[in-house]
Amino acid sequence: MFTGYNTKKRVNERYKIVGFISSGTYGRVYKAMGKNGRTGEFAIKKFKPDKEGELQYSGISQSAIREMALCTELAHPNVVHTVEIILEEKCIFIVFEYAEHDLLQIIHHHNQPPRQAIPARTIKSILHQLLLGLVYLHRNWVMHRDLKPANIMVTSKGKVKIGDLGLARLFYKPLHSLFTGDKVVVTIWYRAPELLLGSRHYTPAVDLWAVGCIFAELLSLRPIFKGEEAKMDNKKQVPFQRNQMQKIVEIMGMPSKDRWPLLTSMPEYGQLSSLAAGNARFHRPQGLENWYQMCLKNNQYPPAGSSPENPGSEGFSLLQQLLEYDPQKRLTAEQALQHPYFSVHGKPSENCFEDSKINYPIRRVSQEDNDIRTSSLPGTKRSGLPDDSLIGRPAKRLKEV
Amino acid sequence: MTSTYWESTQRKFWTFTKQQLALERKKIEEAERNLVNLYPLPDKRHLSIYFYHQLSKMARPLGIRQQALATAQVYVRRFYTKVEIRRTNPALVLATALYLACKMEECPQHIRMVLAEARHCWDTSFNDISKIGECEFTLISEMNSQLIIHHPYRSLAELQTHFQLTQEENALAWSIINDHYLTDLPLLLSPHEIAITAIFLAVVLKPTQGGLQVNAAGVANALQALGNARATNGQGTQNRVQKLVDWMAESNIDIECVVECTQELISLYEIWENYTDKACKEPIAKFVKARGLDK
């Protein structure tokens, strides 16, 4: 009878939940083992219903629909593989391949005493694989829109996988301007300047800015532009992210009309000049090159020269072209892959841990909540780890409007 | 064409040959022999027209765009290749397909609005958003979450400058693409094959003379013109038609697809001329009521 939805697959018949990994605005992620003939480890994302404790079907959120459709459509070695999607009694589960690490966790490990830099080869391989995945997404008209270390997975075999397509969107011929729908995208530290300046027609270039920020963070082990997020006010107006913009300008200097012709047509352009008033550092910015040299020195990379143990001048050149203010001048993912940085010491390794002697800890999972079907309030942080395992990370994203 | 379509789930899982499609449908019918005999329904093509009318009625007051409507039509057609219609409440399936399509095409509608429009245009008693929410699970599950639809509109937009279509021709090609969703063509051909057929018909049918009304006889004549263009091969008598034919040869588009597509459209327009909603509405209402599918 068609009187109701009949679940064909049941999550508990197919997987054994071994622990809880994380939670966010979208729901919760669990680690699981295959069961009844299925082998291997998996990460299962359970979407929370629109309202907590929803007992009735109320329609699936648009972002969940997007993620389900994109995960089903996409297949690339550097994009997290979706094993299956299970719709079971008002709940949605997306089953992903399991990745033991992610960039946030790797950066965190290197920050632990004795603090040590991430080997230059590892960084190069990570970046190369990340860009391969991004080229694939962009060729398929998918913008990720939320690239950050926590969303970049790394398997124990050193394969980098772009994860969390929860904010991703198709960008060809959008029916509405991409600005409508979700008002704010991309975790603030990785947010491109055109977004900070209120651009309504942004492009895949926002993902390349984020790649630049991630590159810088892998080198320095700290977010390069660590701004404080201005919260939405009562009128639900999206505020100008003054502090974040300041952090960028302190290193990069003020964007100029010469280098970025469309700058003056940005909705928040007026805010930019007020930013400069009375702040000496704006007129004497650190400069990206100084930042880069300081960073290599502080993290004790071996002296520059032609050593593959040093990211070198090619690394700086790539970083500079990724952190380009003008989105039209910023490298595309394809151009970035062609950059000499990736060819100067032979091909980057396909395993980012190759020749690395560092042992990364395995992903922590919590045992407090192992019942994926009945966990009382999906998405609430009743137990387990916070959203990101480093304290002081900003809120991931604002809820879709 | 971008590489996107070639690796898409649409091409891999939702494009069939005519034989495959007939077989799939026969399988469902065989499995539901009793129901099928008990509740006769009009020709499938009549049902397609009826569904289109009902979807449009819901979509219009909500200002839903054509592309979302087209996506909903494809969802409905996919769904009914897997589920026997007499086991469903078509009013609910259509409303849900529209609701889901709007989200996928980035023009979301509130579930309550869709419910209200559905109630308005069907004499139906489902009165609860949870019905649509639940049916959404069924739709997505039957479609294996393969929700991204590649439409010929994009191919048309890419090709219109290449063939220097006039505004009228472009509008006519667009409306022919709209019409093809009333047939099985979206499950049989690729979006660019549909688009090129629509362009070809638009060029041959000379919209300035005939307005945007396409009819079976006109399209049949167009098919004749295609045959001539192939036979004269490079004689330059019909410049633009020739250009289209040459372009198809160069881009490895099987001209038989265009012929097949045109014939399918001819038969749609023929049927449309004698179509009435009543012939579909009553038999559907009958099985829905009798089986309590609206509860």
User: A177 CB near a chain B CB, below 8 Å?
Assistant: no
Burial class (CB in 10 A: 0-12, 13-18, 19+), A119: buried
Interface of B with A in 51-90 (CB under 8 A): 65, 67-68, 83, 87-89
Give how far B205 is from chain A: nearest CA, Å: 28
Choose the closest CB to B136 out of A3, A60, A181.
Answer: A60
Question: Given an 8 Å threshold on Cβ–Cβ distance, is B144 in contact with A59?
Answer: no
Q: Give the sign of the dihedral formed by CA B131, CA B133, CA B134, CA B136.
A: positive
Question: Given an 8 Å threshold on Cβ–Cβ distance, is B136 in contact with A1?
Answer: no
Give how far B15 is from chain A: nearest CA, Å: 15
Q: Which residues of A are part of the catalytic machinery?
A: 146
**What pLDDT score does B253 carry?**
82
Q: Class for domain A11-97, per CATH?
A: alpha beta
* Residue A208, helix vs strand vs coil: helix
Rg, chain B, Cα only: 20
Give how far B138 is from chain A: nearest CA, Å: 6
What is the set of domains in chain B, with CATH numbers?
16-148 (1.10.472.10), 152-273 (1.10.472.10)
Strand order in the sheet with A27-34: A15-23, A27-34, A41-47, A91-97, A82-88
| Whole-angstrom distance, CA of residue A363 vs CA of residue A251 | 34
Question: Given an 8 Å threshold on Cβ–Cβ distance, is A174 in contact with B104?
Answer: no
Instruction: Give A390's pLDDT tier (boundaries 50, 70, 90).
Output: very low
Tell me which of B22 and A185 has the higher pLDDT.
B22
**What pLDDT score does A278 carry?**
64
**What pLDDT score does A168 carry?**
80
User: Lowest mean pLDDT: which of A47-51, A230-234, A335-339, B23-27?
Assistant: A47-51
The residues of chain A that CATH labels 3.30.200.20 are: 11-97
Burial class (CB in 10 A: 0-12, 13-18, 19+), B89: buried
For B118, the token pair is 């559905």
User: B4 CB near a chain A CB, below 8 Å?
Assistant: yes
A6, A8, A143, A175: best to mutate for the B interface, most B CBs within 10 A? A175
User: B125 CB near a chain A CB, below 8 Å?
Assistant: no
Say whether pLDDT at A379 is over 50. no
Mean pLDDT of the B276-290 span: 92
**What pLDDT score does B238 carry?**
60
Give how far B21 is from chain A: nearest CA, Å: 22
CATH 3.40.50.970 is the classification of domain A101-342: no
| Set of chain A residues whose Cβ sits within 8 Å of the Cβ of B88 | 2
* Residue B133, helix vs strand vs coil: helix
Say whether pLDDT at A236 is over 60. yes
pLDDT tens across A354-376, in order?
989 899 999 988 887 667 765 54
| Whole-angstrom distance, CA of residue B75 vs CA of residue B187 | 11
Burial class (CB in 10 A: 0-12, 13-18, 19+), B25: middle
pLDDT tens across B11-61, in order?
999 999 999 999 999 999 999 999 999 999 999 999 999 999 999 999 999
| Set of chain B residues whose Cβ sits within 8 Å of the Cβ of A85 | 144-145
| Set of chain A residues whose Cβ sits within 8 Å of the Cβ of B147 | 65, 68-69, 72
Nearest CA in chain B to A174: B106
A60, A83, A88, A94: best to mutate for the B interface, most B CBs within 10 A? A60
Strand positions, DSSP E, chain B: none
| Set of chain B residues whose Cβ sits within 8 Å of the Cβ of A3 | 293, 295
A–B CB contacts, 8 A cutoff, strictly below: 101
Choose the closest CB to B106 out of A59, A72, A176.
Answer: A176
DSSP B62: H
User: Among residues of chain A, what percentage have pLDDT more than 70?
Assistant: 83
User: B137 CB near a chain A CB, below 8 Å?
Assistant: yes
CB A41 within 8 A of CB A157: no
Q: How far is CA A113 from CA A104, A108, A116, A352, A366, in A?
A: 16, 10, 8, 22, 24
Mean pLDDT of the A169-195 span: 68
Say whether pLDDT at A108 is over 80. yes
User: Among residues of chain B, what percentage have pLDDT more than 70?
Assistant: 90
Q: What is the ipTM of this complex?
A: 0.89
Chain-wide mean pLDDT for chain B?
Answer: 88
| Set of chain A residues whose Cβ sits within 8 Å of the Cβ of B87 | 1-2
| Whole-angstrom distance, CA of residue A341 vs CA of residue A32 | 38
Nearest CA in chain B to A8: B141
**What pLDDT score does A392 carry?**
41
Chain-wide mean pLDDT for chain A?
Answer: 85
Question: Given an 8 Å threshold on Cβ–Cβ distance, is B147 in contact with A65?
Answer: yes
User: A68 CB near a chain B CB, below 8 Å?
Assistant: yes
User: Lowest mean pLDDT: which of A31-40, A275-284, B180-189?
Assistant: A275-284
User: A179 CB near a chain B CB, below 8 Å?
Assistant: no
**What pLDDT score does A384 carry?**
32
Give how far A363 is from chain B: nearest CA, Å: 29
**What pLDDT score does B229 carry?**
66
pLDDT tens across A309-347, in order?
889 999 999 999 999 999 999 999 999 999 999 999 889
Question: Given an 8 Å threshold on Cβ–Cβ distance, is B293 in contact with A85?
Answer: no
Mean pLDDT of the B97-107 span: 95
User: Lowest mean pLDDT: which of A51-65, A201-215, B160-174, B208-222?
Assistant: B208-222
CB A223 within 8 A of CB A210: no
Q: How far is CA B148 from CA A71, A73, A162, B4, in A?
A: 11, 8, 20, 11
**What pLDDT score does A120 carry?**
95
B141, B293, B294: best to mutate for the A interface, most A CBs within 10 A? B141
| Set of chain A residues whose Cβ sits within 8 Å of the Cβ of B3 | 139-140
Nearest CA in chain A to B129: A58
Tell me the DSSP string of A316-358: HHHHHHHS-SSTTTSPPHHHHHTSGGGTBTBSPPSSTTTT---
pLDDT tens across B179-207, in order?
999 999 999 999 999 999 999 888 887 65
A9, A50, A65: best to mutate for the B interface, most B CBs within 10 A? A65
Tell me which of A357 and A220 has the higher pLDDT.
A220
Q: How far is CA B157 from CA A85, B24, B160, B165, in A?
A: 34, 33, 5, 10
The residues of chain A that CATH labels 1.10.510.10 are: 101-342
Give how far A376 is from chain B: nearest CA, Å: 21
